Structure 1
């Protein structure tokens, strides 16, 4: 009953087609600053105050009238009287961040002074505003601090706190339904000991759930669905309130592979068969404007489809802005062979300043990913790389 791969779509074409059918959700919620790191602002932030809101000492030292330090040097120090108020010839100790005392306009750093009783020897001349932070030096009132769509980092949250915010409006996280399928799967919750031959513990769904959470979604982890078209259809229809659906398993062309056909019967199957190795059986579809990703059953192929399609699809749903991926340049410690016509996902490990491809890293060997430090993508028109060639290495999240 399986569907034959009549054509193979390139990775770039498949992703472009998939993303064209996805729109940002734009549903919003207000959350506390303590929980907003990693979220996306749903409105611009305009400052309602100056930061700092007072003139402050930028260094530990002595607040002075700059005019009282004229000509001061190590060989010609000026003596000032330590006091709790400023008059001509006096000074006040201040620490970093303290409000500048009335009448002072500069700070002499402590390294340029020495004290004897109530006398302070000033060994450097300072000018007005030296070592002084001005009102609004960091942020001025009515400054546009962040735009809508800004991805909040912990340092950004600290800025919001300095502006007096307690809560902030962000876009809601998309809900991603993860549906594991397969007669051969055994639930980890129900398993006792080692499964019998031909049966395996369900792990791809768990991996999908954890990546969904890491990438900014809210996973909905469903029970295992058998390899039955009606059961798969019912599971999908029961989760059409989700923002994306991931079907794990049942995507190839065997008699028990029904996921793509079920997606086609309920909506539109955009792609089935993608030029990536491992990961060719992956399928992409749309059901009632809900994006659907069908992951292959082999663990590494499943991971590749998660990286290539679930992650960018989820980010578009969540309105998470594009960010450059960290790419390391390394030379190969051994030759890489690849399959022409496919983007090849090659797992590698670091060896000093080089990387070595893992041997025996088949698509069903999940531990090869855990052992790998990163991966190299060999384009479909290149037949591998030679030892010593420089390649781009992507880190495995």
Structure 2
């Protein structure tokens, strides 16, 4: 019999209430910080660009000298300077005429378009001003962000540590892949691979323990050995069978918050706390475990790791009827 049965939303609320954001942080080289979460604001030490910069290939001119220029009534200039995109615009000039709007003949520049001040010029600090907040604490760094930080000369950034996740697969019938050929009633243990890869995808550092047989003492020892993890995932042994010891062990070692969730599939899910750390116990059925990873593990890791990536939502029309149990969240 399930001991602490509840709906999926209530189960998630209880898990998140015991999942505390990390305070640990580390300094990383900017080029190694993709996907990491900033633990402090980033303030620009300089302006970008640091000078008035040509935004086009052409000629730097004084905008007032181009007044009235039109295709049928060009103006002719003797004062100008050739510039390429990205070059500084000399201080005596305030605009750049594009090559297609002018002709150079014998040292005289013929212009067929009037320019306003700073036309085709990127101003000092146009992209980023000195002292401007570039990124806020909690921002997840993307490749373009790293390029911007590098352009600002920011070599190192302080980021939150990755949440440390311990994955404990249980089951006396399970073998590591490639350990030996399967015997009658045996199966290769695959769930920890899926759990580890998804945890890493969601910003965590994850490791798998040895497969633990259905033995209360050994399961307790495995949990105790990983109490320093920020999140513990136990796979299998979560239902109400004779050898489903995990809920009982959580009650003895800490606190059992949830045992049984109104999910289809995924009913034999348990959530607890050991040594102040959240423990998510997933059913051994791979499809149910996958749904639980998204429903429970992902939000918990987001909370612990200071992430706020929204879960994508898609509206879709069912092409057939899906049987649904009243009061349960059905996952298809």
Interval containing the TM-score (normalised by the shorter chain): over 0.9
Instruction: Tell me which residue corresponds to 1:246.
Output: 233
Distance 1:318 1:161, change over 3 A: same
Q: Is the 8 A contact 1:26 1:319 kept in 2?
A: no
Q: Is the 8 A contact 2:262 2:327 kept in 1?
A: yes
Q: Deviations over 1:7-52 (max 9, x none)?
A: 5211110110111112111101000111212111111111111111
Q: Secondary structure at the match of 1:327?
A: coil
Displacement after TM superposition at 1:171 (Å): 0.5
- Asked whether 1:324 is paired with 2:321, we answer no
Instruction: Tell me which residue corresponds to 1:376.
Output: none
Q: Secondary structure at the match of 2:252?
A: helix
Instruction: Tell me which residue corresponds to 1:206.
Output: 193
Instruction: Tell me which residue corresponds to 1:334.
Output: 320
Whole-angstrom CA distance in 2 between matches of 1:163 and 1:71: 40
- Asked whether 1:190 is paired with 2:174, we answer no
Instruction: Tell me which residue corresponds to 2:81.
Output: 92
Which of 19, 25, 28 is the equivalent residue of 1:28? 25
Q: Deviations over 1:198-230 (max 9, x none)?
A: 111100011101011100110111110001010
Structure 1 runs of 4+ aligned residues shifted over 4 Å read: none
Alignment of structure 1 residues 51-130 onto 2, 5 Å? 51-80=48-77, 89-116=78-105, 118-130=107-119
- Asked whether 1:5 is paired with 2:19, we answer no
Alignment of structure 1 residues 275-290 onto 2, 5 Å? 275-290=262-277
Displacement after TM superposition at 1:247 (Å): 0.5
Distance 1:110 1:330, change over 3 A: farther
Displacement after TM superposition at 1:334 (Å): 2.6
Which of 27, 30, 44 is the equivalent residue of 2:41? 44
Q: Deviations over 1:354-381 (max 9, x none)?
A: xxxxxxxxxxxxxxxxxxxxxxxxxxxx
Displacement after TM superposition at 1:68 (Å): 1.8
Distance 1:292 1:7, change over 3 A: closer
Q: Is the 8 A contact 2:15 2:271 kept in 1?
A: yes
Which of 135, 150, 164 is the equivalent residue of 1:146? 135
Whole-angstrom CA distance in 2 between matches of 1:33 and 1:48: 15
Q: Is the 8 A contact 1:22 1:289 kept in 2?
A: no
Whole-angstrom CA distance in 2 between matches of 1:231 and 1:282: 20
Displacement after TM superposition at 1:119 (Å): 3.6
Instruction: Tell me which residue corresponds to 1:345.
Output: 331
Whole-angstrom CA distance in 2 between matches of 1:271 and 1:307: 17
Consecutive unaligned residues in structure 2, runs of 5 or more = none
Q: Secondary structure at the match of 1:329?
A: coil
Alignment of structure 1 residues 342-381 onto 2, 5 Å? 342-346=328-332
Distance 1:120 1:191, change over 3 A: farther
Displacement after TM superposition at 1:237 (Å): 0.8
Whole-angstrom CA distance in 1 between matches of 2:5 and 2:298: 21
Q: Is the 8 A contact 1:40 1:171 kept in 2?
A: yes
Displacement after TM superposition at 1:298 (Å): 0.3
Instruction: Tell me which residue corresponds to 1:361.
Output: none
Name the structure, 1 or 2, with higher relative contact order (CA <8 Å, separation 6+): 2
Q: Secondary structure at the match of 2:237?
A: coil
Q: Is the 8 A contact 1:174 1:317 kept in 2?
A: yes
- Asked whether 1:160 is paired with 2:157, we answer no
Which of 274, 277, 295 is the equivalent residue of 1:308? 295
Whole-angstrom CA distance in 1 between matches of 2:228 and 2:2: 30
Q: Secondary structure at the match of 1:170?
A: strand
Distance 1:190 1:292, change over 3 A: same
Q: Secondary structure at the match of 2:141?
A: coil
Whole-angstrom CA distance in 2 between matches of 1:210 and 1:294: 17
Q: Secondary structure at the match of 1:332?
A: coil
Instruction: Tell me which residue corresponds to 1:234.
Output: 221
Whole-angstrom CA distance in 2 between matches of 1:236 and 1:6: 21
